[in-house]
Every structure is written in C-alpha cells, then in structure tokens.
Amino acid sequence: MKEEDKEQVGLEKFLNSVVIVSAKDGRKFRGRLTQYDEYMNLVLKDVEEFSGEEQAVKHKLVLIKGGNVSAIST
Amino acid sequence: MKEEDKEQVGLEKFLNSVVIVSAKDGRKFRGRLTQYDEYMNLVLKDVEEFSGEEQAVKHKLVLIKGGNVSAIST
Amino acid sequence: MKEEDKEQVGLEKFLNSVVIVSAKDGRKFRGRLTQYDEYMNLVLKDVEEFSGEEQAVKHKLVLIKGGNVSAIST
Amino acid sequence: MKEEDKEQVGLEKFLNSVVIVSAKDGRKFRGRLTQYDEYMNLVLKDVEEFSGEEQAVKHKLVLIKGGNVSAIST
Amino acid sequence: MKEEDKEQVGLEKFLNSVVIVSAKDGRKFRGRLTQYDEYMNLVLKDVEEFSGEEQAVKHKLVLIKGGNVSAIST
Amino acid sequence: MKEEDKEQVGLEKFLNSVVIVSAKDGRKFRGRLTQYDEYMNLVLKDVEEFSGEEQAVKHKLVLIKGGNVSAIST
Amino acid sequence: MKEEDKEQVGLEKFLNSVVIVSAKDGRKFRGRLTQYDEYMNLVLKDVEEFSGEEQAVKHKLVLIKGGNVSAIST
C-alpha cells in the first residue's frame, strides 16, 4: 500500500459541486457544497431537503453537522 | 484546495439571524441565534418549538446542546 | 465575529431559575437549577418529571447526566 | 457566576442514600448507593429493578455503567 | 466525601463469581466472570444467553464488549 | 500471540476491489473501493446502493463516513 | 486483585478459531478470526452471515468494525 492512500479522505472533489448528503436522521439534502471542515461539518447552498415521500423543502443555506452525515454522493 | 477551505465551519453567518434548528430528538426550533460555541451548543431567543403536527410551543430562551443539533438552516 | 461570542455557552443565566430540561430519553423535568458543570450535568430541586401523557412524578432532587440533556428552556 | 458553581456535579449528597437510577435502557433501579466514580459508574446494594409494568426483580448488588445512567433522583 | 470514594468502581468483587450481565442489545448473559479490563470488556465462562422469551443459548466462552455492557448484577 | 497480529486491521486487501459496505443506516453499497483513511471513511466508485427491497440506486462516487460503516465484505 | 487481571481483555484465545460475532446491527457472523486490532476491528474468513430468520449469506472475507461488535462467543 502506498503512503498516499492513507491520507484522510477529503471532500475537495465535491467542493462547489451539487451533492446529495444522506443524514443520519433519515433526511437527504441536495445542494452545492460551499464549505466543509475536518469534522465533516458541511455548508450547502440552494438546498432541497427530502424526507420520505414528502415534497422537497427549499433552504437558502443549510449547515449539516458532521456527526449527522452518513454519506455524500454525486 | 485552498487552505481557507479547511477552517472550521462556523456559525458567524447565522449569528443574530432567525434560524431553524433541526434536533436529533425530532424537534425543530425557530428563533434568533444569540450565542454559540465550538461544541455547537446554541442559544436561541423568542423561540417556537415544533414537534410533529402539534402546535408550536413558545419559549423565551432555549439552550440546545450541540450533541442534539442535526442541521441549521435559514 | 467578536471573540466573546466564542466563549462556551454557559448556564449562568439559568442558575437558580426554574427551567424545563428536555432529556434524550423523552422525559421532561421542571425544577430549579441549583448546580451544573462543564459536562452539563444538572442538579434540579423540587422537580416535576413528565413523560408522555402520564401525571407528573415529583422528586426532591434530580441529577440529570449531561449526556442525557437535549435542551434547556425557560 | 462564582467559581464554586463550576465544580463537577458530584454524587456526595446521594452516597449511602436510597436513590432511584433511571437507565438509558429503560429500566429503573432503586437501591442504596454505596460507591461511584468519575464516570458515574454506580454500585447499588439491596436493589429492586423495575422494567415497564413487570414485577420488581431483586438483586443483592448491581453495578450500573455510567454510560447507561440517565438520571438519579431521591 | 473521603478520597477513597472516588476511586474507579471496580469489578474485583465480581471476579470468579457467577454474574448476570445486561447488554445494551437487550440480551442477558449469565456466567462466571473470569477476566475484565478498564473498558469493562468482560470474559464469561460457561455462559447462558437469554434474549426475550427464547430458550437460553449456551456458550463455552463469551467476550462482551465494554461498550455493550449496561449493568452487572449478582 | 505474535506482535504483527496487533497491527491495526487495514483495508489494503480491499483496495481497488469491488466490495459491499454495510452501513449503520441499513443501506448497503456495492462499488470499487478507491480510497480510505484511518477513520474508515471510504470512497467508492461506480456504486449501487441497496435499501430494503427497493431497486438499486446508482452513483458515480460515494463517500461513506467511517462512523456509518458496520462491515465490509467481498 | 492481582495486577495481571487488569490487562486489556484480548482476543488471543479466539485467534484462528471459528467464532460467532454478534453485531450491534442485529446480524451475526460465523467465521474464522484471522486478524484483529486494539479497536476490536475483526477480520473473519469463510463467513456465514445470519440476520433474523433469513438464510445465511456467505462471504469469503468480512471486516467488522470494532464499534459494531457487541459480543464474541465460541
């Protein structure tokens, strides 16, 4: 295994892209990732929030706590 | 990735604004963010608390423990 | 953001007041906050404990572990 | 706020008294608190354990892990 | 409060005795405690495992992770 | 026990293989493991996500938080 | 209590044996323990996975995260 494989998995490849964040509380958020930190706290802009079958709720800005993040996908 | 992207995600942009806090216990709180700290403990003023379909409960002051915060939105 | 905003959110403003503590286990406790510490362990005096629709249970003294505290309100 | 308010909340006032311990797993234990430590691990003697509507189960000695303690009351 | 009260609550008094371990996952284990450590990882010998109303399952040796331990009783 | 047995369990043997990741939130992800770190944060490429009986959802890239990983299998 | 009793509970006695691992997520894994580390991350070979009443699923290799381990038995 090469040493560079062991660097912390980063979010650089997701920055300024539209991502889907799956949260532990069952909600999903789709928006542009504008900021993050080492705890995986995330700031999304122009966000749609999905919860079960309900219609999406829109937010200008959402901060998702790292401890509430399950997965991030594109 | 530029270094400033890795600063801790902060709540400055939410301070003194009316925010909606989603808590892990399923409740939502809408109020003015008047104080916070590095653990994301939050103090809200003039708060409405929502829980399921029940009518909002009003509080003058609410301290929400950081460990109970899932997301903060505007 | 001014430096004093980043001090740890404290419970001074709640000390010796009657507060409502929402616990993670679903219970609520209303009583006078007589002591607390940095872990948000709380000691309440002359306490009423509410759980769902059941009638309040009274306690002379309750220590609530910080890890079980969700929110504190007035 | 005076400095002595910020000392860790202690269990001295409960030592050698009969207390009710509410555990995270939903059980309650009533017994005499004979030992505790900084993690809030508790040792109770001559204990009755309650769980829902079932009849109390008796134990000579119970060690309750601090992480399983929600609240302690008299 | 005397200083010796604040020593960590230990399992010496349970060593080599038959104990009942209540686990967070709802199971109970009855067996002889043959080893433990500071994380409250436990090793039981000649163990019966109970889960709800099902019949006991027998094990020669069970290691229970400290994080899964709720309470230990005699 | 030989000393090499106590090295941290690593994911080298899974790197660049197609793996199935079981997540705490009940979902399973099948994809090629392209990156990981000491927290077991994982990056999968060309991913199928399974959740209960629903049809698989496809993702180009998924980052799964280490705290959300239960098990990895081949 | 003798000092050697307080060494960390180890998995040496389980190494290269067929064990049953009970996971927090409700699944059980039966396989040969080929590697482990101080976080109780486990690697099992030739594994059968059981979940409720469903038929066993077979895996060549499974890594179970320590945080997902409840108990290990023989």
pLDDT tens digit sequence for F21-69: 999 888 999 999 999 998 899 999 999 999 877 788 999 999 999 999 9
- Listing DSSP states for C19-64 in one string gives EEEEETTS-EEEEEEEEE-TT--EEEEEEEEE-TTSPPEEEEEEEE
**Contacts with F51 (C-beta within 8 Å, 6 or more apart), sequence order:** F26, F27, F28, F57
Q: When comparing pLDDT for F23 and F8, which is higher?
A: F23
- Residue D38's pLDDT is 87
pLDDT-based confidence at residue C3 (cuts at 50, 70, 90): very low
Q: Alpha-carbon torsion B10, B12, B16, B19, what sign?
A: negative
**Contacts with G26 (C-beta within 8 Å, 6 or more apart), sequence order:** E25, G51, G52
Q: Is the pLDDT of residue A4 over 80?
A: no
Q: Does domain G15-73 have CATH number 3.30.450.20?
A: no
**Can you tell me the distance from the alpha carbon of A11 to that of A55, in angstroms, rounded to the nearest whole number?**
28
Per-range mean pLDDT, top range of A5-14, A60-69, B46-55: A60-69
- Residue E6's pLDDT is 54
When the candidates are 4.10.490.10, 2.30.30.100, 3.30.9.10, 3.30.565.10, the CATH number that belongs to E16-73 is 2.30.30.100
Average pLDDT estimate for E50-69? 90
Residues in chain G with CB shorter than 8 Å from the CB of E43 are: 9
Average pLDDT estimate for A25-49? 94
Average pLDDT estimate for G42-53? 91
Q: Residue G57 has which token pair? A: 């699923």
Q: Which fold has domain D13-73?
A: SH3 type barrels. (2.30.30)
DSSP 8-state assignment for residue E67: G
User: Which CATH number is associated with domain C12-73?
Assistant: 2.30.30.100
Q: Is the pLDDT of residue A53 over 80?
A: no
Nearest to G73 by CA among G20, G12, G35, G16: G20
**pLDDT tens digits along G62-71:** 999 999 999 9
**pLDDT tens digits along D6-41:** 567 889 989 999 999 999 988 999 999 999 998 899
Residues in chain B with CB shorter than 8 Å from the CB of A27 are: 22, 71
**Can you tell me the distance from the alpha carbon of E5 to that of D35, in angstroms, rounded to the nearest whole number?**
6
Q: Is the pLDDT of residue E44 over 80?
A: yes
Minimum-distance CB partner of G63 among F1, F24, F71: F71
Other C-beta atoms lying within 10 Å of the C-beta of residue B44: 27
Minimum-distance CB partner of C6 among B38, B62, B67: B38
Q: Is the pLDDT of residue A67 over 60?
A: yes
Establish if B56 touches chain C: CB-CB under 8 angstroms: no
**Can you tell me the distance from the alpha carbon of A50 to that of A31, in angstroms, rounded to the nearest whole number?**
11
When the candidates are 3.90.1170.10, 2.30.30.100, 3.90.1150.10, 3.30.930.10, the CATH number that belongs to A11-73 is 2.30.30.100
